[in-house]
Amino acid sequence: MPRQSTRRPQTHPVDEVLPLPRLALYGFQHVLAFYAAAVIVPVLLGNALGLSRQELVHLINADLLTCGVASIVQALGVWKIGARLPLVQGVTFTAVSPMIAIGMGAGGGTAGLLVVYGAVITAGIATFLFAPLFSRLVKYFPPVVIGTILTIIGITLIPVALQDAAGGAHLIGTPAYGDPKNLAYALGTLLFILTIVRIGKPFLSSLAVLLGLVAGTAASWLFGDTDFAAVRETDWFGVTTPFHYGMPRFELLPIVAMLVVVLITMVETTGDVYAIGEITRRKVDADTVARALRADGAATVLGGVLNSFPYVAFAENIGLVRMSKVMSRYVVVAAGVFMVVLGLLPKAGSLVASIPHPVLGGAALSMFGIVAAVGIQILGKADLREERNTLILAVSLGAALLPTTVGPFFDRMPDDLRAVLDSGITLGALTAIMLNLLFNVFTRRRTMEIDWDDIGEDGPAAPHFGVPAH
């Protein structure tokens, strides 16, 4: 009788549970890569609505706490919620302009926040309920659409990194903005990361971003350009309470505006899920997308309750997964635990927030560029020799650059419409979706879909991009 093999099935890199020290290191690297983008939304909104410093700190703490819980649910999976992929959840930039418009229209301050939270909670419930139906519409998002949207996300985020490299948006209009010293910190951080990746061993290379941020901050401190005084003045412990500013107000027009926003973020999350599937070589189907979108919806409802905002799978950290080649979803779970701790310990969060803008910009430039590169790789699956697909890409890229290159373009439009369209990601994504419907769906043309048939559940021996699997 032939001897039966006792060899266990190979664990997919996504499901690999790393040793605790490595989980902590890789998880903290995700937090550092994500932190600046995570806190910028409450900072922008709070400043626009005229909130006090104490109220602004509360918004940041609430955001970090909700980010942590949402990331754990997305990566770990609870019932039919969560994609079980290394996806970090964060506040979507798409919602910034609409939320500012909604809040200012309601009088600003905490009164404006109550109307924002009513719209956020409603939009989160709609996302959760609509997730299964939207996942079946994935066939209307072929590679030309998903690749275009991801490319747009990367291209529109790169200026954010460059702005940080110049010193940060708060310095615009001052002599310090674009100071050669700031550019030196950014370039030094980027070169340090590239050097680690080039000459370091695989384990060291996977920590390149973390080491770059630490080295850049240390250099800035040694030259006297980083001050930790704000850390000493921050409280050690702070608890986020539900409905801290009062019960939400539900008004029709703000809800409609927020529903448009979450429609775009659902497309964004769909693209992010496929992108992380490409990077990790884990098969993505309609059920995976539905579970990811349910996690978005649940996190958005939780955000409205805990005084935070709409959540989406964060494209920034997809670049980190690609760069580090660490594909375990449990790393994101560890990152989520760190975020929860940071949300409860304002002093610890303040320490991370002390990383200088130019250092963050240097590190972010590589990651945001990788997001665009993943989009370009997915575009490689579309037949761009076909004129219609080429036009979808070309016109969508042009539309995405419109708000950032011609700022006053939408100034004379109604506030509600301007709040939705005055975003490169929103405008570019809407353009790609509508042109695909016009050119490929309504004309019943067959569009190429991403072929996942050659990808088994356990994944191939080596990932698609020709680098050794972790």
What tens digit of pLDDT does each residue of 260-314 get? 778 878 877 887 888 888 888 888 888 888 999 999 999 999 999 998 889 888 7
Does the model's pTM come out above 0.85?
no
pLDDT confidence of 8, banded at 50, 70, 90? low
First to last CA, the chain: 37
Q: Give me the pLDDT at residue 300, please.
A: 94
Question: What is the distance between the alpha carbons of residues 342 and 350, in angstroms, rounded to a whole number?
Answer: 9
Residue 440 has pLDDT above 50, yes or no: yes
Of 25-34, 73-82, 450-459, the least confident:
450-459
pLDDT confidence of 6, banded at 50, 70, 90? low
Q: Give me the pLDDT at residue 294, please.
A: 94
What tens digit of pLDDT does each residue of 222-258 get? 888 877 777 777 777 877 788 888 899 888 878 887 8
pLDDT confidence of 208, banded at 50, 70, 90? confident
Question: What is the distance between the alpha carbons of residues 124 and 293, in angstroms, rounded to a whole number?
Answer: 10
Residue 443 has pLDDT above 90, yes or no: no
pLDDT confidence of 112, banded at 50, 70, 90? confident
Higher pLDDT, 216 or 157: 216
Question: What is the distance between the alpha carbons of residues 11 and 424, in angstroms, rounded to a whole number?
Answer: 40
Of 36-50, 79-93, 95-109, 251-265, the least confident:
36-50
* Mean pLDDT over the full length of the chain: 79
Q: Which residues of 369-384 are buried (b: 16+ CB within 10 A; e: fewer)?
A: bbbbbbbebbbebbeb
What tens digit of pLDDT does each residue of 313-365 get? 877 678 778 877 888 899 999 999 998 988 887 776 666 667 788 888 888 88
Residue 129 has pLDDT above 90, yes or no: yes
- The arithmetic mean of pLDDT across residues 58-68, rounded, is 87
